[in-house]
Amino acid sequence: MRPPNEDLEHRQPVWEALSDMYLDTDISLSRDERVRILAASPYSLEELEQILVDEVHPVCFWNLCIVAGEWAGFDPEWLRSIILSRSQRRFRLPCWLRLARFALRLPGEWSHTQQEIVQQRALLNAS
Give per-residue pLDDT as tens, 15-30: 999 999 988 888 888 9
| pLDDT for 22 | 87
Q: Answer yes or no: is pLDDT of 39 > 90.
A: yes
Residue 53, Cα to own-chain centre: how many angstroms?
Answer: 7
Give per-residue pLDDT as tens, 47-100: 999 999 889 988 888 877 765 555 678 999 999 999 999 888 665 555 544 555
CB-side neighbour CA atoms (13 Å) of 91: 0
Q: Which pTM was predicted? A: 0.83
Strand locations in the chain (E) = none
∠ CA 126-119-58 to the nearest 5 degrees?
A: 130
